Chain A
Amino acid sequence: MKKRTGVFVCHCGINIAGTVDVKDVAKELSKYEGVVHAEDYVYMCSDPGQKLIENAIKEHKLDSVVVACCSPSLHEKTFRNVTQSAGLNPYQCEIANIREQCSWVHKDKEKATSKAKKIVKSIVQKVLRNESLEPISVPVTKRALVIGGGISGIQAALDIADGGHEVILVERSPSIGGHMIQLSETFPTLDCSQCIMTPKMVEVANHPKIKLMTYSEIQEVTGYVGNFKVKILKKPTYVDPDVCTLCDECTKVCPVVVPNEFDEGLTGRKAIYIPFPQAIPATYTLDIENCPGVLPIACGKCADVCEPNAIDFDMKPEIVEEEVGAIVVTTGYDLYSKKNMAEYGRGKYPDVLDGLQFERLLSASGPTAGEILRPSDHKVPKEVVFIQCCGSRDPELHKPYCSKICCMYTAKHALLYKEHVPDGQAYVFYIDIRSGGKNYEEFVQRAVEEEGVVYLRGKVSKVFQNNGKVTVWGVDTLTGKDIEINADMVVLAMAMEPSHQTDELAKQLKIALDKDGFLAEAHPKLRPVESVTGGLFVAGAGQAPKDIPEAVAQASGAASKVQAMFSGDVLHQEPIVAAVDEELCSGCKLCIPICPYDARVFDEEKGIVSVNEVLCEGCGSCIAACPSGAAQQKNFTDDQIYSMVNTILEGD
């Protein structure tokens, strides 16, 4: 045990000193067991503050340091660096949090001071028993896996590949492009979505550093930061892309028609199909679930007409194994289904569309070649009602969060509708208009001022079919009037939700999800592209609802994090991990299923459990589970915890 601890009490301006008598804390601690020096300073994190600690370590020959200041999540690193530069092991420095856990939450100065003293003393007790630790070094495989081929995945893959590292881009559906390729124009500039998206898709296809795997799914992920092993299931497309000439003869003879996913069900597609003309990879896929049978006896018409013989009914699923150092998860979003909206017809009315369906109606490549015709009778709708917040901002029945992009795309829909149907009338029901973003507010005002879109502030209570019309009942709270509109068509701005199967993938990846099922970031402000699990990064609408510019920015952010990780040959990890006392371990294996990171391994030969320090995140679950006390967290041993608890309870 050490005996030369230095205690440094920070005022943090008045943040701490306003509620805690810092001088009194320093004075009392200077007399405490093991403490040979204690002093206070106004801002310990400032340059002079850091120098003060460094000089004191040298002058008083300190062997350990306690800084009583803010949360360790803020300045632990600062002070450990100072300790290290003064010649000590950085893990001989500990933070006593007397701000967030004391001064900020109390008013009574006397009691707060007494509590602060106890906190500092308990940390002194901890540091007296601290081991000197060295960071764990891990080799890093400089290849990245990007999961999801929407705009975020494409951007991340291109950025990492442009940085000179190999990237495997895995996409579940037959083509990359995600939802963005379905859109007509993009707000607020009204760029044609396909025009700005397809060059990026082509770049992915041609990039020498990108290995593109479409129609593929992640089956298993093992390993840890810098060293993941991934099994990818490559589903058979039954079409050889190198032989297929895209002549389209196969779809003409295919007898099966199923809803076309790309057109959001507004049209049908065949069982053998190309998702859309600019699909990457440019090839056909035979959808085996809807094909009457790949046996030529069952159907086989497509193979008969395929002149280059590109169709191969014997194609088998393939498992591809890859080793990567980092994984960027960009699983994107899906729209909350119209079926959830009982008061709006549960998706049964043909002229009540969701936002993506309306995008397809507006799109030049859509089912109506860009003409606005309502699905039921192919007539031009003269009155269209747009309803915002469908399923969003409704914690009682639907989603509690704001889907963020609906205000903007609804303004865009209404504006584009007026461009297509100048004598038509567009109404928008809204709760609030949230148009934060560069040139966004101006865009919404343009819809109102130039196109005369009527905005009605209120929610719609009911939508129902009525003599070939779709009647909308709502309220305009600004006039206090009930509103009835006999519309020709209704467009619902449905909430965004994490793409289907995000939860299943999250289990494979051991990546955390938030309460709404979106991918969780490590810190909402300061670590927005990292996940809590080392080596996993998040970007795009799979993390939270967001628009294209934000998705692209976040993807580039994740890519730059990956590149920073790949810049050296080894990674350094925190050594605050679990350890096993071989003498005490009985090999009961209780800790193995409890570990969320698969870091505990049973050693058959010794009959005990050992820890894979690289995988261990130091969560402490195994320590709590261990019945014999053999599992201990480094620098958080039972002995340390009990001595801290005893110190806190002393004198009470």
Chain B
Amino acid sequence: MKLSELGPEFKTEVMSHKEAEGLNLCFACGTCTAGCPIHEIFYEYDPRKLAKMVKLGMREEVLASPYIWYCTTCRNCEQRCPQNVKFFDILNVLKNMAAKEGYAPHSWIEQTKQIMKNGIIFSITEELKEKRRALSLPALKYNGERAKKILKLTGIDKVKDQGKA
């Protein structure tokens, strides 16, 4: 990895977002990783390592990484951080950057489409409808219109699946 070529630009770009300003405070103690429930299951998901990768300017590797999408948003990491680094917020900055550059995972885009269509993340399948009928339950009536309105305000509808992820 040629550090002279990577340069500090990526770190500066991430830190230009107010919520990610604290990245420089990280001294890589690993408290975030130690308390992360995802890391317990997926060893590869490592907040400490991701923070260090951003600091070293590893732009492509970070944005293309599937792991930045693994976070369950429990915020244990920032509750416990001795340096008050908002890793959850930094991760959001990274996800936004990744999405803009076409690294949003296929499954994530499919889920977004589903919400905009039906207002919920799951599909209302024929099988489900049949089950409800057999139990004499009323038919589900979901309307994605309101969700669509909100999601459009966030610009999420413009995220294209570029097949990069």
Contact = CB atoms under 8 A, between A and B. Distances in A.
Contacts of A452: 8, 11, 24
Given A383-B4, A487-B4, A476 B24 contact: no
A484 B1 CA distance: 6
A561 B48 CA distance: 50
Nearest to A441: B27
Given A476-B56, A479-B53, A479-B58, A449 B24 contact: yes
B17 interface: no
Contacts of A480: 49
A451 B67 CA distance: 29
B2 interface: yes
B8 A478 contact: no
A457 B1 CA distance: 15
Contacts of A476: 52, 56
Contacts of A485: 2-4
Contact of B52 (A479, A484, A486): A479
B55 interface: yes
A414 to B, nearest CB: 14
B52 A448 contact: no
B36 to A, nearest CB: 16
B49 A445 contact: no
A483 interface: yes
Contact of A454 (B25, B27, B56, B58): B56
A445 B83 CA distance: 10
Given A452-B8, A454-B55, A476-B56, A481 B25 contact: no
A581 interface: no
Interface in B50-70: 52-53, 55-56, 58
A474 to B, nearest CB: 9
Nearest to A486: B4
Given A481-B1, A485-B3, A425 B49 contact: no
Interface string B1-38: 11110011001000000000000110110000000000
A427 interface: yes
A383 B8 CA distance: 12
A484 B2 contact: yes
A486 B28 contact: no
A482 interface: yes
Contacts of B56: 454, 456, 476, 479, 481
A479 B8 CA distance: 16
Contacts of A449: 24-25
Interface string B112-132: 000000000000000000000
Contacts of A482: 1
Contacts of B55: 454
B3 A483 contact: yes
B4 A478 contact: no
A contact face: mostly helix, strand, loop, or mixed: strand
Contact of B2 (A448, A456, A478, A486): A486
A445 B27 contact: yes
Contacts of A478: 28, 48-49, 52
A449 B58 CA distance: 19
Contacts of A383: 4
Size bracket of the B interface: 10 to 19
A483 B4 CA distance: 9
Contacts of B58: 479, 481
Contacts of A483: 1, 3
Contact of B28 (A427, A457, A487): A457
Interface in A395-452: 425, 427, 445, 448-449, 452
Contacts of A427: 3
Contacts of B49: 478-480
A484 B53 CA distance: 15
Contacts of B52: 476, 478-479
Nearest to B48: A478
B52 to A, nearest CB: 5
Interface in A195-226: none
A415 B49 CA distance: 25
A485 B8 CA distance: 13
A427 B4 CA distance: 10
Interface in A547-591: none
Contacts of B25: 445, 448-449
Interface string A103-135: 000000000000000000000000000000000
B30 to A, nearest CB: 9
Contacts of B4: 383, 484-487
Nearest to A478: B52
A385 B58 CA distance: 19
Interface centre among A457, A480, A481 (most CB of B within 10 A): A481
Contacts of B1: 481-484
Nearest to B50: A479
A483 B52 CA distance: 13
B51 to A, nearest CB: 9
A449 B11 CA distance: 13
B8 A425 contact: yes
B150 to A, nearest CB: 38
A71 B52 CA distance: 52
Nearest to B11: A452
Nearest to A383: B4
Contacts of A484: 1-4
B114 to A, nearest CB: 36
Contacts of B28: 457, 478
A563 B1 CA distance: 60
Nearest to A472: B3
A522 to B, nearest CB: 39
Interface string A469-495: 000000010111111111100000000
A387 to B, nearest CB: 14
30 contacts: A383-B4, A425-B8, A427-B3, A445-B25, A445-B27, A448-B24, A448-B25, A448-B27, A452-B8, A454-B55, A454-B56, A456-B56, A476-B52, A478-B48, A478-B49, A479-B49, A479-B52, A479-B53, A479-B56, A479-B58, A480-B49, A481-B1, A481-B56, A481-B58, A482-B1, A483-B1, A484-B2, A484-B4, A485-B2, A486-B4
Given A445-B25, A454-B8, A478-B28, 18 more contacts: A427-B3, A448-B25, A452-B8, A452-B11, A452-B24, A454-B3, A457-B28, A478-B49, A479-B49, A479-B52, A479-B53, A479-B56, A479-B58, A480-B49, A481-B1, A483-B3, A484-B2, A485-B2
A-B pairs, 5 with minimum CB distance: A486-B4, A481-B1, A485-B3, A478-B52, A484-B2
